[in-house]
């Protein structure tokens, strides 16, 4: 029997690690969320920049699979997708999943920068004014540009079942659920304003949340709550007075 | 004989497409830089968001290989690396290359945001003050954090030859050359201030530039000049008065 995967990620936030957690949960494979255990942070520090591991990653999340150490969220999902049927078998299908995941990673990065537009080395409060300007652009321009795109990909998918790629669930569906969940937490007014603009994506997110293993995970203590140390943060002032277009 | 690859990317900048161009040039395979030809922009628009292709990408670069359409820079390199021996054959080696490329993509994104910290929908001049603050952080904190990391990866590589992965050149080496070249163009004073801090990376970049096919490419009209519409832009005011630490 295979030894459990080891996930190295910050112990108090969903963050980028959550995309990996969702894939591991849907796959139903055993894993240890290392940094949430005793001495776990020390163990994590060995596999990130400055750590002693020869293939230390620049930053978490990092996944250990036996001998293999894999970093960068989309790269970990590329690996898990092939191993646990969370991506198509064909090269074309795997590349398409990876391409969509990298596009999701781009939105996530922009969502992070809404509260840290100037420096990750300073507190939000020190860049709150710039954060407000960047958030306005993100909420009114970037969210619809990205979600219109994902909605068009979903619509163009010839596969049955309402998934993003082919006719089976893939890690891209899990990641889109997490993206929508994060955006709704960070910008509830704006996302409410967009209500109904992306019905296919809303149905997809609901289907993901209803997957038995995902539903069990979301109801468990393993699922961390949203908070303002995370990538998706709710600062009401950032969407205050921002008007969105419910239709494209 | 295989039909030439088609690269879809903005015709007047190096940008993210340059990482793909360098891989195609080093591989010595025929390709058409579509948007630089007559009617090329129209052809490119069909394969990006809003375009008619069923697997249109969110943004360029996009590579067409026969039936296959591949988007997202790191994803295109993952594909080309496997096809043209610009990455190891082993799964572990391919994942490691992809991980390093994604980390390079992260620095490139941050380099772009130094001149567009608030919105890609506004001109640099409209966010020049915020750009100065973000550039200071990028130049003094982020550049050394990333380049110290890449230097440590290079040093830890047991392979011979001074390459990033194993004992042969990979697309990661080509991309690091491009990253250093772009940083030197955008922040010449700062990079001069760091002179000697990353000798291994400097040697690697010089070796890449001396590769016969790369040298020929860099001396050709196919290599576009740096300019202020690009990802790496030189605005002297952004590094004005910024002091860097030549040693870590």
Could you give the CA distance from residue B25 to residue B214 in angstroms, rounded to a whole number? 6
- The total number of residues shown for chain A amounts to 248
State the pLDDT at residue B247.
Answer: 84
Whether the per-residue pLDDT at A73 is higher than 90: the answer is yes
State the pLDDT at residue A99.
Answer: 98
Cβ within 8 Å, pair A95-B78: yes
Could you give the CA distance from residue B57 to residue A172 in angstroms, rounded to a whole number? 15
Dihedral of alpha carbons A207, A184, A9, A40, sign: negative
φ, ψ at B125 (rounded to 5°): -60, -25
Which residue's structure tokens are 């590769």?
B211
Whether the per-residue pLDDT at A248 is higher than 90: the answer is no
- Tell me the residues of chain A between 111 and 140 that have a Cβ less than 8 Å away from chain B: 113, 117-122, 127, 130, 133-134, 137
Bridge partners for B5 per DSSP: B31
B43 inside 8 A of chain A by CB: no
Fold (CATH) for A91-215+235-239 = Glutathione S-transferase Yfyf (Class Pi); Chain A, domain 2 (1.20.1050)
- Tell me the residues of chain A between 153 and 182 that have a Cβ less than 8 Å away from chain B: 153, 156, 158
Q: What are the helix (H) ranges across chain B?
A: 17-27, 40-45, 73-83, 91-115, 128-137, 143-156, 171-186, 188-193, 199-210, 212-218
Which chain B residue shows the shortest CA-CA distance from A118? B134
Spans of chain B, pLDDT less than 70: 1
* Contact criterion met (CB below 8 Å) for A134 and B122: no
The CATH superfamily label for domain B5-83 reads Glutaredoxin (3.40.30.10)
Average pLDDT across chain A, whole number: 97
Mean pLDDT of the A21-50 span: 97
Domain spans of chain B, in order of start = 5-83, 91-215+235-239
Verdict on whether the full-model pTM lies above 0.95:
yes
State the pLDDT at residue B16.
Answer: 98
State the pLDDT at residue A1.
Answer: 57
A94: distance to nearest CA of chain B, Å? 10
For the beta carbon of residue A162, count every other beta carbon within 10 angstroms: 16
State the pLDDT at residue A2.
Answer: 74
Whether the per-residue pLDDT at A66 is higher than 90: the answer is yes
Interface ipTM > 0.90: yes
């Amino acid at each position: 029997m295979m030894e459990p995967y080891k996930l190295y990620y910050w112990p108090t936030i969903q963050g980028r690690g959550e995309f990996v957690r969702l894939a591991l949960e849907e796959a139903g494979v055993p894993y240890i969320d290392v940094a949430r255990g005793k001495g776990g942070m020390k163990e994590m520090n060995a596999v990130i920049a400055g750590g002693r591991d020869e293939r230390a990653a620049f930053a978490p999340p990092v996944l250990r699979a036996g001998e293999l150490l894999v970093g960068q969220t989309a790269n970990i999902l590329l690996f898990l997708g092939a191993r646990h049927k969370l991506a198509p078998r064909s090269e074309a299908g795997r590349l398409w999943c990876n391409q969509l995941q990298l596009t999701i990673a781009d939105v996530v990065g922009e969502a992070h920068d809404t509260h840290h537009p100037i420096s990750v080395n300073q507190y939000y409060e020190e860049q709150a004014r710039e954060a407000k300007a960047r958030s306005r652009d993100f909420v009114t321009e970037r969210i619809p540009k990205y979600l219109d795109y994902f909605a068009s990909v979903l619509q163009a998918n010839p596969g049955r079942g309402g998934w993003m790629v082919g006719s089976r669930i893939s890690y891209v569906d899990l990641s889109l659920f997490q993206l929508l969940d994060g955006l709704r937490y960070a910008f509830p007014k704006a996302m409410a304003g967009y209500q109904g603009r992306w019905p296919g994506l809303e149905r997809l997110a609901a289907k993901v949340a209803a997957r038995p293993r995902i539903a069990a995970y979301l109801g468990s203590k393993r699922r961390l709550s949203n908070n303002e140390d995370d990538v998706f943060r709710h600062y009401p002032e950032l969407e205050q007075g921002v008007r969105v277009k419910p239709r494209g």
